[in-house]
Chains A and B, each alone.
Chain A
């Protein structure tokens, strides 16, 4: 994995997937089990954490309770032997950046969660580290504040331009903030790509399931060109697959719920259609999700228009455009080696 200077990369994955462990390794608190971590081409493994010049922001902020906001932010500068006047000026700049200059003399416990988070951010950035690591920094905040802080962090990143690695299990956070997302699962990086690529062309079933809602089916290769056999839906038309392997006989077929639509009368596009009973209607106010199942396969359909509101129990014809189908080749049994991409182990994460 290579991360460019100034890039904002998110490690996304469920808890226990190894994203925090990787972060801890980059910070130097955990030994790298295999592989290397390079920073500007120099190996970090023999550098102790305090020599690495990497800023870290912890989930519970880890602000020093006995120091004021200004002293907390000044701490890394003090450790680097900055003279006092310069220290004060730099701390002032950082507090301006995070909008907390009027709180400089307060103690952390006198601040709200969001303010504490911003102090932690200022403290992690003040010494212009080569990289800043953010470990689920918004995990402890409520939803509104979290969205506000996402914008805030993104703005600060834009202004400061420090390479940022952000760990989260929240896909919305990852989507809205990152230049690229690395999706972790079981200690492996499943895919690293721009947010929209992750969403539209997930590399594995895991990624597809973890990022956004998804309809996942199993398609078998048939005689008929450009078609796959799905047990529950029958023959479906699929777009020509770029890297088709002769050996691959099965594909994971992925259709996002927003690409599914209700088919009323004739449609321009040559759709894959099926008939399904609507079991549940989930109303989000601005959109609807219809949940049903076809032959045991659960299917979710997102409707952005609230006209012709479908009713629960109604039987409707649904369909989607073949071009909106995303295919992931399934590795033939016995050929699992290919499953292990160059990004195979967490420890192999290259910086």
Chain B
């Protein structure tokens, strides 16, 4: 196979849990600076696909490439560990349930990985924490523990934590799904800001309005396949596939 010319390239991704096939031969490319949304109902495989990109859920078949390097290389255990840790440093991930480290302050959450992995000094870490927390509007809570923060604030700190590693790519796994409705916007705002800075992002979301306004391209997934993909105004306004129409109709009803 030729080297990939795309920034992110997923080739024939296949994933089974026992007899259950959750990803069926999915191929996908993302260019540098692009923002791709993935929508679909629960169990459609969208989170699994996202988590395959940094090999958190390893694929059973297929390849994932990032910036010319294959992520899911077949290596000996030791070599693979070294390789994947290297790759993951370049990919930020934001989870539905934040997964902040509860025994660390916002500052410590943001600086732990850079301090351990990038060999930066305490002062540099301090500057980094302020810079990243300021970016997500959480500077004044720098010494708060996660338990002292609201859901939206936690998620903003989690984004700052991911950004502190200066990733090339950001993955968002339903970043606002666990939030109270009134807290969603503050997280969306941060994500929009990243979009303006041309951060490459892959966003799994249930929020059609947000996906429509921020993404360059949206994929609709169902039962382990990409049913339809296209620019948001086409996919949301004039979907060609019946399954997409059905999903969007149900979603619209649910939102009412």
The answer on A and B forming one complex is no
